[in-house]
Chains A and B, each alone.
Chain A
Amino acid sequence: MKKIILCALLLIGSNAWGQIKKPTLMVVPADAWCANNGYMMSYEALGVQTDVPDYKQALQNDIDLLNVISKIGELMQERGFPLKDLASTIRSIEQSSAENEMLVGSSGLGIVETPYEKLLNRAKSDIIIELVYKINTEGPKRSVTYSMRGIDAYTNKQIAAATGTGAPSFSAEIPVLLEEAVLNNIDNFSSQLQSYFDDLQTNGREVAIEVLVFDNVEGTNLESEFDGEMLTDIIEKWVNDNTVEHRYSLTDATENKMLLEQVRIPLYRTNGMAMDTRAFTNELRKFLKAAPYNIECKLLTKGLGKAVIVIGNK
């Protein structure tokens, strides 16, 4: 009896641990759509004028956009994949920032937030669904050209897409044409998304790892040698030994920066818990901290798919 209970507990435990972290999806209007519809804002940084999409204005003013995003959300929810809502995320970030500024402890001191943490405080998701649509008119006929692109936010790879122009209509209203466009394209889009998830579950999650160097007193950088081997090579060997089928690609390697892309990390840790980029990169941090290297590192994560290790300090 005890054995049965133990087995049952182990099974429940393995199920609870054995879940891969679910990627988050968010629909955002593409930059081209924002530019065409006048929803851009400009700011000047270091003398350079930069235009960025103003999602808040777009969502507050364009009802068609809201309808399309809601329809995609509804259809994805039916498939068991609810989307992160852009409007709510923007609202939540603003509210959270305002609350944090007002929060004061009993000592009278406020919350500590580094400039880097402030910068990270933006709407983000693991997969961004970029949306563009355009109303075409030819005499009395109207049609909709529609495009939906799923982009992995960390590898910047297009993982799914559905595009097309609907049948021209004399009478149908724009919202109806847009709804038709969404309904006609969602199945192909989600089938490509399914292929991406299948690949992810077979070959491991694809992530990116960046190694940077703090200006440190010891002068340790990626060209520092340990037993005649450069730190870059030591890190690369560790990544090679710990990735699924040794899959990774070393894109940049200089004395102060190393960028590893297409790093296929296993889905589970040795103890059965789900693996994520942070856990994987934390193993690298522990490896570098241990003898004979004894290097102190700072570990930062950027969502589910990218981690940064900064060598030389914490």
Chain B
Amino acid sequence: MNKRLLIVTFFAFLLSALHADNVMDYEIVAAGSGTQGNYLVNVYVYSKKAKLSPEELKKCAVHGVLFKGFTSKENRVSQKPLAGNALTEQQHSDFFNLFFGDNGTYKNYVSMTSSAYEVIKVQKKTYRIGATLSVAKEQLRKDLEAAGIIKKLSTGF
């Protein structure tokens, strides 16, 4: 009985640890004015490893533009989340699970402006990895409108 309990507890811990790894812990701020139809953002991801794949950073950039929004110290302008708020992600979880999946289409809307990363060790086993990315917000908005995830300004008229 005790052995079973021990095994169940072990797997529960393992699952929660895996889940914690999947949760994206990141910050997003403006990196100046992007060209028309694009946002230029700095994304900082907190990771246990000093190396991070570009896909993770891209995913965070698109996720941030959609659900977090960001501010700019220079312009003192804050951009609201494109998809409204985090509730939209839950309401359309089927769509966004595929969208942010391994072969997800989020990659089509983001590019890194340079291959250089900024890596800072902030704690014993935590690194802050940053990069500047360009997110094609107009195309993203249009495609999400077409998919019925967000409303068009002209909806209902």
Contact = CB atoms under 8 A, between A and B. Distances in A.
Interface of A: 19-23, 76, 78-81, 164-167, 179-180, 183-185, 187-188, 190-191, 193-194, 197-198, 201
Contacts, number: 58
Given A187-B80, A191-B80, A22 B75 contact: no
B33 interface: yes
Nearest to B154: A80
B107 interface: no
Given A165-B76, A188-B77, A79 B157 contact: no
A79 B76 contact: no
A20 B75 contact: no
Given A167-B74, A184-B33, A188-B77, A201 B152 contact: no
A188 B75 contact: no
A184 B153 contact: no
Nearest to A176: B33
B104 interface: no
B153 A193 contact: yes
Taking residues whose C-beta sits less than 8 angstroms from the other chain, chain B's interface range is 20 to 34
A22 B80 contact: no
A166 B137 CA distance: 20
Contacts of B138: 78
Interface string B72-85: 10111111101000
A188 B157 contact: no
A20 B154 contact: no
Interface in B118-152: 137-138, 151-152
B75 A166 contact: yes
Given A80-B152, A179-B36, A184-B77, 11 more contacts: A21-B157, A79-B154, A80-B153, A80-B154, A183-B33, A187-B79, A187-B80, A187-B82, A197-B153, A197-B155, A198-B151
B157 A19 contact: yes
A190 B153 contact: yes
A292 B69 CA distance: 60
Q: Is the interface of A mostly helix, strand, loop or mixed?
A: helix
A183 B76 contact: no
Contacts of A198: 151
B54 interface: no
Nearest to A177: B33
B152 A22 contact: no
Contact of B79 (A19, A76, A165, A188): A188
Contact of B75 (A78, A164, A191): A164
27 contacts: A19-B157, A20-B156, A76-B153, A78-B138, A79-B153, A79-B154, A80-B152, A80-B154, A81-B154, A164-B76, A166-B33, A166-B75, A167-B74, A180-B33, A184-B33, A184-B72, A184-B75, A184-B77, A187-B79, A187-B82, A188-B77, A188-B79, A191-B80, A194-B153, A197-B153, A198-B151, A201-B156
Contacts of A81: 153-154
A78 B72 CA distance: 24
A271 B74 CA distance: 54
A188 B153 contact: no
